Amino acid sequence: MTPRLPSPHRPRALAPIARVRGLDYDVLDELLGYTLRRAQVAMFVAFHQATRGMDITPPRFTALVIVGANPGISQTVLGNVLGIARSGAMLLTKWFQARGLIERRRRPRDARAWGLHLTRKGERLVERLKTDVLRLDLRRTRHLSARERRELLRLLEKLAR
């Protein structure tokens, strides 16, 4: 294997989108879209640090938590929670199954749908992930007071409705 030459360019760091000083952002500061995007990227960076090396993305984390809290859930409902099509939920489920984190069981009431369940290994992982992600989430928002944090969640929820 030939050793790869070091890149002459610094790789783009996985970092929040910085505000460029001296730049005119015009109407973007009045709109929620751009700020929302920046906040999301910032949270993603924190998330990535919390799950480093575990190959867990936000949708994967969400899926594990949802299946853990709702054993027997179907792929279609999982897709709804994630906001993706059934085919995507299927791929996601297959990914977990291949890693022994989720198992599919036939349901007596409806032979079309699978019932999704965490394996023992999946349970252990999701427990660890929950504490890690919560810790980083809080750390990322440490500049917000408890009341501000609650208020932010409330307003976002109102917006998403």
Partner DNA sequence: TGGGGATTGTTATAGACGATTACAATTTCC
Partner DNA sequence: GGAAATTGTAATCGTCTATAACAATCCCCA
Q: What number of chain residues touch DNA (CB under 7 A)?
A: 33
Q: How far is the CB of 120 from DNA (least distance, A)?
A: 21
Establish if 51 lies at the interface with DNA (CB under 7 A). Answer: no
Establish if 113 lies at the interface with DNA (CB under 7 A). Answer: yes
Runs of H (alpha helix) within the chain? 32-50, 58-69, 75-82, 86-98, 120-140, 146-160
Alpha-carbon gap, residue 44 to 16, rounded angstroms:
9
Q: How far is the CB of 109 from its own copies (least distance, A)?
A: 16
Query: How long is the chain?
Result: 161
| Selected binder of DNA within 28, 31, 54, 91 (CB under 7 A) | 91
Choosing among DNA, its own copies, none, which partner's interface includes residue 38 (Cβ < 5 to 8 Å by kind)?
Answer: its own copies
Question: Which residues are within 8 A (CB) of 65 and not within 5 positions of it... i.e. 6 or more apart?
Answer: 126, 129, 130
* Residues of the shown chain interacting with its own copies in the complex, contacts defined by CB under 8 A: 12, 16-20, 23-44, 47, 58, 61-62, 65-66, 68-70, 73, 77, 80-83, 85, 130, 133-134, 137, 140-141, 143-144, 148-149, 151-153, 155-161
Query: How many CA within 13 A on the CB side of residue 76?
Result: 3
**64 contacts 74 by C-beta, under 8 angstroms:** no
Alpha-carbon gap, residue 99 to 88, rounded angstroms:
17
Quote the radius of gyration of the chain (alpha carbons, Å): 20
Choosing among DNA, its own copies, none, which partner's interface includes residue 75 (Cβ < 5 to 8 Å by kind)?
Answer: DNA
Only one of the segments 21-29, 44-52, 108-116, 147-155 lies at the binding site for DNA (rule: CB under 7 A); that segment is 108-116
Only one of the segments 3-11, 25-33, 136-144, 150-158 lies at the binding site for DNA (rule: CB under 7 A); that segment is 3-11
**88 contacts 79 by C-beta, under 8 angstroms:** yes
Residues in touch with DNA (CB under 7 A)? 4-5, 7-12, 57, 59, 74-76, 82-94, 104, 109-114
